[in-house]
Chains A and B, each alone.
Chain A
Amino acid sequence: MQYPNTHPNDATQMTQSLSNQEFQDGDPESILEVRDLDVIFDMDRGESRVLDGVSFDVHRDEMLGIVGESGSGKSMFASALLNAVVDPGRAGGEVIYDDPDAGPVDVLSLSEDQLESFRWEEVAMVFQGAMSSFNPTMKIDEHFEETIQAHGKPMDERMAHARDLLADLYLDPDRVLGSYPHELSGGMKQRALIALSLVLDPEVLVMDEPTAALDLLMQRSIMNLLDTLQAEYDLTIVFITHDLPLVAGLADRLAVMYAFEFVEYGPSEAVIRDAAHPYTRALLKSVPSVDAALEDMNPIEGESPDPVDTPAGCSYHPRCPLADEQCVAEDPDYHDVGEGRGAACFHWERSSEAVDYELGVDPVVPDEPSRAAHGDEETVISLEDLEVHFDQSGFIDRLFDQDATVRAVDGVDLEIAENEVVALVGESGCGKTTLGKTAIGLQEPTVGTVRYRGHDVWEAKRGEGEIDHDRIRRALQIVHQDPGSSLNPTRTVRTSLAAPLKRWRPDLNSSDRETVVHNLLERVGMKPAEDYALRFPHQLSGGEKQRVVLLRALLMSPDLILADEAVSALDVSLRVEMMELMLSLQELFDTSYLFISHDFANARYLAEKSGGRIGIMYLGNLVEIGPAEEIIHDPKHPYTKVLRWATPPLDPDAAREARETEPPIREIDIPDPTDPPSGCPFHTRCPEAREVCREREPELMGSEGEASLAACFREDDDHAYWESDPIVEESTLENTS
């Protein structure tokens, strides 16, 4: 790429003009040098400074992980690297790109034409919300072709490269290139997008939450692929995420963003092991992970700052336990806290005393058996041999006997006792939500029965049972993933919460109701309650809305609440807080939870803390279920092991180990649910599969001295499985083309 000489600086001038920076300038290691970068939006409320004087270097051929809470400015940083800040935002400062052929250039002062060739040829980007990064009316190959054409590159050569890239990402190039975007699954689309971003062989790839919308397993698989791609194509990757454990094990360096600037950076392992900035430490503490001790997980108090009105001095001081007058008055510079590390904090030396966290402690398995094992609690809901089918075939399909039925739930037995927490985990489309909805009587089973305290729910619904259906309906409640849509936007918090009370507690008068509502609001931390009670949903944050929805469900004094991905939409640092709340309210209201999550770490938190169980679902089947500790620390079913592998540990040693192990799975993509595999549903992906798994379907079975059950022949030492031949076929993970 050729740049006309627009940039006034040559390397020496640059060094001088920036010599007051504490970075080594003109560092041969750096490919991108960011200096005093501001991004400003003019808003009605005032000037919104969404990046505030950021100076930072990206090293050549590294994988840099950028983490931070939602709204901290991560995406702004990413866009600024390509001079692609959305209108009407303005980027100021310098972003120096050290072009290997043409020398350094300032990206922010390139002309439109220069930018056009700079982007994608030098620095490419995968956006947040990338699911919709393809034009829905164009096939995938057209996207590749138009890109190559727009940059005037040789078509055949580049298309051949595109095919290689797709194959590297375990996709079938012919199939993918010939498809429209909607014909691909989310994971496939995402991988196709990565291939598209690499088709012109850029030096740097910026990825903004590229995997946030995907299942954990897909996320991890893609992360592993990135690692390979990076080595193969000499890439520098900037990986942005709010999910610390996801990048912790893979990134070479980490940079933590808080309030529109980086508060700490350094080699990944060093930062994770002993973070210097109080915020990083608090963040590490607040993230639900599979390996940290439960009592160590704590939410960060307070709220992240508003870009229009960022606190003076250190922007973290309102939430920092170490803050003193100096922090309020002065903005801290980076302090050298170790080799290649920096932290913007005056008192970083004392941070480890103030905020204490530990990694990867082996939890002490509690002596007392979990509540589920007590067996003296009455069963609230029992599901027997449950099947739910969705028929998607049309008239002609049926005529030709073509079965397009999806068996969303395919033979599940489950009992939930009083005060129990059962967490269901599985990939998307595995039937978690359907099973949950069937359990609380919102979905009629195709086969099997749902009983509430021994009464058939659907008989009652038809008015044939002995029990009043209203009672069942009240006893089984639901909290959705998206709190916004389940609250009536025209009702205040008080009206929303008083409605169930009015209905179920006719003995209370309106001032009693008000007192109840206020007490509850205070209890869930929405203080002052008088103020919150009068707010409308749009005046609440996501976490607050979710609390109101939870309270509303609890006010029905139900026996069971289905919490469907109830914390997934919340920011990582708020999830622990919300789950804590759910547990404390559980004791208050005496209710059971059926908690659905695609995230092992969340399920673990809730289930382990309450001594509950975790159930693993795969293609409509419950493949393993048992006490949380056992499932987490000693998974038996090969699929549980895969999920467990996909949930990255925070501890750097464990993370490295996980990174080095190959994914324990033969195929990345889930089979078509309308055409599920014969025998054991997992045999197409199971690394342990043998011929017998193709023919016979395993039942849930337990082994000696263990409380958990797994549907795998390997649990049975005398099974024909052990004599059977392993399934050998060309695995997609090793060979695609």
Chain B
Amino acid sequence: MSEYLGRARKGVAAAFGFLAGFDYYWRKIGHAFVTLISVTTITFVLFRLMPGNPAQAMRAQFEAQLEGSGQAADPEILDQMVQVHTGFDPSQPIYMQYFEYVRDIVLYQDFGQSIQYGDPVFDILFRAMPWSVFISVYGLALGYSTNILLGAAMAYKEGSRFDGTMTVVATFLNSIPYYVGALLFLAFFAHDLGWFPSGGRYDTSIEAGLNPAFMASIVHHGALPIMSSFIVGFGGGALAMRGNSVRILGADYLRVARLRGIGSVRIATRYVARNAILPLYTQMMIGIAAVFSSSVVLEYIFTYPGVGWYTFDAINMRDYPLLMGSFLFFTIVTLVGILLAEFTYGIVDPRAGSGGENESY
């Protein structure tokens, strides 16, 4: 009977634990949401209040355009134009403008209209996004796997010449800014050697579609940007992985596993790699955001029209609606990266969320 009760109690406790677990996730989502709202607000406020008020500047720009084309600058028409582009009406009080801006984003995915392209910001970014994702994800995947393999190899050969050399190489690569790498790649591989194109996303002369030639041209064009974003993810990670692996190679459980006769493949994957990656995991997830933000400069250098390229362009052309839109885009990517890291950490590390068990009273 008491056993039965005990089991029932355990069941209830587990149910509570389950809910409490969700509580944790909801709280994290809540945090992310609050961050997103704050960023939106700050962007908006900056946009309105920056010295030389961008909205004002935009207005002046339209005025000049209109005047240039010989039209009279009717303030109402100007206000209207500004509203079409930014999604808010400059003649209204600021909180109303803010409210409308947010409402448009949430309800209609309307981020306003790009000044220079005349298209909705959302459409531009939406079309550009897959390309940015393409180079970032491949760059990251390549960077992280190299980190892990190299770090583990260095740890296995700790103290050897290989280890020493690679430590220097990794430190060196880590200290080169990715844009310097990108420029060097461009200079060597594209201009000097001519192996890779110096810009564009694919060969426009090939018919777009699921044909091998087109695919190959995408890879060909993407190679250099991917290599450069690889540099973003590479370097420090390998050294950190090396450090973790060295620590785990000395761990008691590894020694015991070897004595138990566990095979070396299983030891390398299930014991060393798994445990060495854990501390890097969160950092790697957040690294997603770093890679995306590096795309602003990279895509510009390689004239690769992804989100980053449009962002850079928007800065140059003072295309404020587009700029605000991409700003939000990067914020969302960062937040998603962090959330992903938090949510999946519990899966990769069984100890997560049970912090206080080794407290002493």
Which residues of A does B touch, CB under 8 Å? 82, 84, 86, 116-117, 119-120, 125, 127, 129-130, 132-138, 146-147, 150-151, 180, 182-183, 196, 390, 392, 394-397, 400, 402, 406, 408, 428-434, 620, 673, 729
**In this assembly, does B263 line the interface, its C-beta being within 8 Å of a C-beta of chain A?**
yes
Interface 9-mer from B126-134, B191-199, B211-219, B252-260: B252-260
B261 touches A133 (CB 8 A): no
B275 touches A137 (CB 8 A): yes
Which residues of the partner chain A approach B348 to less than 8 Å between Cβ atoms?
137
Which residues of the partner chain A approach B2 to less than 8 Å between Cβ atoms?
729
Which residues of the partner chain B approach A620 to less than 8 Å between Cβ atoms?
361
CA distance A355 to B309 in the complex (A): 86
Which of these, B13, B27, B260, contacts A147 with CB under 8 Å? Answer: B260
B360 touches A428 (CB 8 A): yes
A133 touches B263 (CB 8 A): no
Shortest CB-to-CB span from A662 to chain B, Å, is 23
**In this assembly, does B351 line the interface, its C-beta being within 8 Å of a C-beta of chain A?**
yes
Which residues of the partner chain B approach A138 to less than 8 Å between Cβ atoms?
270
**In this assembly, does B274 line the interface, its C-beta being within 8 Å of a C-beta of chain A?**
yes
**In this assembly, does B349 line the interface, its C-beta being within 8 Å of a C-beta of chain A?**
yes
Known: A119-B261, A408-B361. A127 touches B356 (CB 8 A): no
- Closest A residue by C-beta to B259: A119
- Closest B residue by C-beta to A673: B361
B360 touches A180 (CB 8 A): no
20 CB < 8 A contacts A-B: A86-B255, A119-B260, A127-B255, A132-B253, A133-B252, A133-B253, A133-B256, A135-B253, A135-B257, A136-B351, A137-B278, A137-B349, A146-B262, A150-B260, A180-B351, A183-B354, A392-B356, A394-B23, A402-B16, A673-B361
**In this assembly, does B31 line the interface, its C-beta being within 8 Å of a C-beta of chain A?**
no
B261 touches A120 (CB 8 A): yes
Which residues of the partner chain A approach B278 to less than 8 Å between Cβ atoms?
137
B361 touches A433 (CB 8 A): yes
Shortest CB-to-CB span from B227 to chain A, Å, is 33
A182 touches B351 (CB 8 A): yes
Most buried by A among B256, B348, B351, B356: B256
Shortest CB-to-CB span from B10 to chain A, Å, is 10
**In this assembly, does B266 line the interface, its C-beta being within 8 Å of a C-beta of chain A?**
yes
- Closest A residue by C-beta to B21: A396
**In this assembly, does B49 line the interface, its C-beta being within 8 Å of a C-beta of chain A?**
no
CA distance A400 to B357 in the complex (A): 22
Shortest CB-to-CB span from B144 to chain A, Å, is 19
CA distance A133 to B23 in the complex (A): 33
Which residues of the partner chain A approach B252 to less than 8 Å between Cβ atoms?
127, 129-130, 132-133
Shortest CB-to-CB span from B28 to chain A, Å, is 13
Which residues of the partner chain A approach B259 to less than 8 Å between Cβ atoms?
82, 84, 119-120, 125
B361 touches A406 (CB 8 A): yes
B356 touches A150 (CB 8 A): no
B253 touches A429 (CB 8 A): no
A390 touches B16 (CB 8 A): no
Which residues of the partner chain B approach A135 to less than 8 Å between Cβ atoms?
253, 257, 270-271, 274-275
Shortest CB-to-CB span from B346 to chain A, Å, is 12
CA distance A396 to B13 in the complex (A): 12
A129-B252, A397-B16, A729-B2 known, 6 other contacts, Cβ within 8 Å? A135-B257, A180-B350, A180-B351, A390-B361, A408-B361, A429-B360
Which residues of the partner chain A approach B23 to less than 8 Å between Cβ atoms?
394-396
User: Residues 262-284 of chain B: 1 if any A CB is under 8 Å from the residue's CB, otherwise 0?
Assistant: 11001000110011001000000
A120 touches B360 (CB 8 A): no
Which residues of the partner chain A approach B360 to less than 8 Å between Cβ atoms?
428-429, 433
- Chain B interface size band reads 35 or more
CA distance A532 to B354 in the complex (A): 44
Which residues of the partner chain B approach A432 to less than 8 Å between Cβ atoms?
361
Shortest CB-to-CB span from A528 to chain B, Å, is 38
Which residues of the partner chain B approach A84 to less than 8 Å between Cβ atoms?
255, 259
CA distance A676 to B164 in the complex (A): 55
Using a CB-CB cutoff of 8 Å, which residues 120-143 of chain B contact chain A?
none
Most buried by A among B262, B263, B266: B262
- Closest A residue by C-beta to B271: A135
B275 touches A147 (CB 8 A): no
CA distance A434 to B274 in the complex (A): 37
CA distance A392 to B260 in the complex (A): 38
Known: A146-B266, A147-B260, A397-B16. A430 touches B253 (CB 8 A): no
CA distance A133 to B259 in the complex (A): 11
A400 touches B16 (CB 8 A): yes
Which residues of the partner chain A approach B27 to less than 8 Å between Cβ atoms?
395
**In this assembly, does B45 line the interface, its C-beta being within 8 Å of a C-beta of chain A?**
no
Which of these, A132, A182, A395, contacts B354 with CB under 8 Å? Answer: A182
**In this assembly, does B149 line the interface, its C-beta being within 8 Å of a C-beta of chain A?**
no
Known: A120-B261, A125-B259, A132-B252. A430 touches B361 (CB 8 A): yes
CA distance A515 to B43 in the complex (A): 66
Please provide the 3 A-B residue pairs with the shortest distance between their CB atoms, ordered closest to farther: A408-B361, A396-B23, A180-B350
CA distance A137 to B271 in the complex (A): 8
Which of these, A132, A182, A431, contacts B350 with CB under 8 Å? Answer: A182
Shortest CB-to-CB span from A515 to chain B, Å, is 40
Known: A132-B252, A135-B257. A147 touches B262 (CB 8 A): yes
CA distance A430 to B360 in the complex (A): 9
CA distance A339 to B263 in the complex (A): 46
Shortest CB-to-CB span from A629 to chain B, Å, is 29
Which residues of the partner chain A approach B251 to less than 8 Å between Cβ atoms?
132
Most buried by B among A132, A406, A432: A132
CA distance A166 to B118 in the complex (A): 73
Known: A129-B252, A132-B251, A133-B252. A120 touches B20 (CB 8 A): no
**In this assembly, does B19 line the interface, its C-beta being within 8 Å of a C-beta of chain A?**
yes
Shortest CB-to-CB span from B359 to chain A, Å, is 8
Known: A127-B252, A135-B253. A397 touches B20 (CB 8 A): yes
Which residues of the partner chain B approach A82 to less than 8 Å between Cβ atoms?
259
Shortest CB-to-CB span from B96 to chain A, Å, is 36
- Closest B residue by C-beta to A146: B262
- Closest B residue by C-beta to A408: B361
Which residues of the partner chain B approach A428 to less than 8 Å between Cβ atoms?
360
Shortest CB-to-CB span from B267 to chain A, Å, is 10
Using a CB-CB cutoff of 8 Å, which residues 32-56 of chain B contact chain A?
none
Which residues of the partner chain B approach A136 to less than 8 Å between Cβ atoms?
253, 275, 350-351
Which residues of the partner chain B approach A146 to less than 8 Å between Cβ atoms?
260, 262, 266
User: Residues 332-361 of chain B: 1 if any A CB is under 8 Å from the residue's CB, otherwise 0?
Assistant: 000000000000000011110010110111
A116 touches B261 (CB 8 A): yes
CA distance A406 to B20 in the complex (A): 18
Most buried by A among B16, B261, B351: B261
CA distance A271 to B261 in the complex (A): 38
Shortest CB-to-CB span from B271 to chain A, Å, is 6
Shortest CB-to-CB span from B76 to chain A, Å, is 52
Shortest CB-to-CB span from B277 to chain A, Å, is 10
CA distance A86 to B357 in the complex (A): 32
Which residues of the partner chain B approach A400 to less than 8 Å between Cβ atoms?
16, 19
CA distance A127 to B351 in the complex (A): 23
Which residues of the partner chain A approach B253 to less than 8 Å between Cβ atoms?
132-136
- Closest A residue by C-beta to B24: A394
Which of these, A119, A132, A396, A433, contacts B19 with CB under 8 Å? Answer: A396
Which residues of the partner chain B approach A116 to less than 8 Å between Cβ atoms?
261
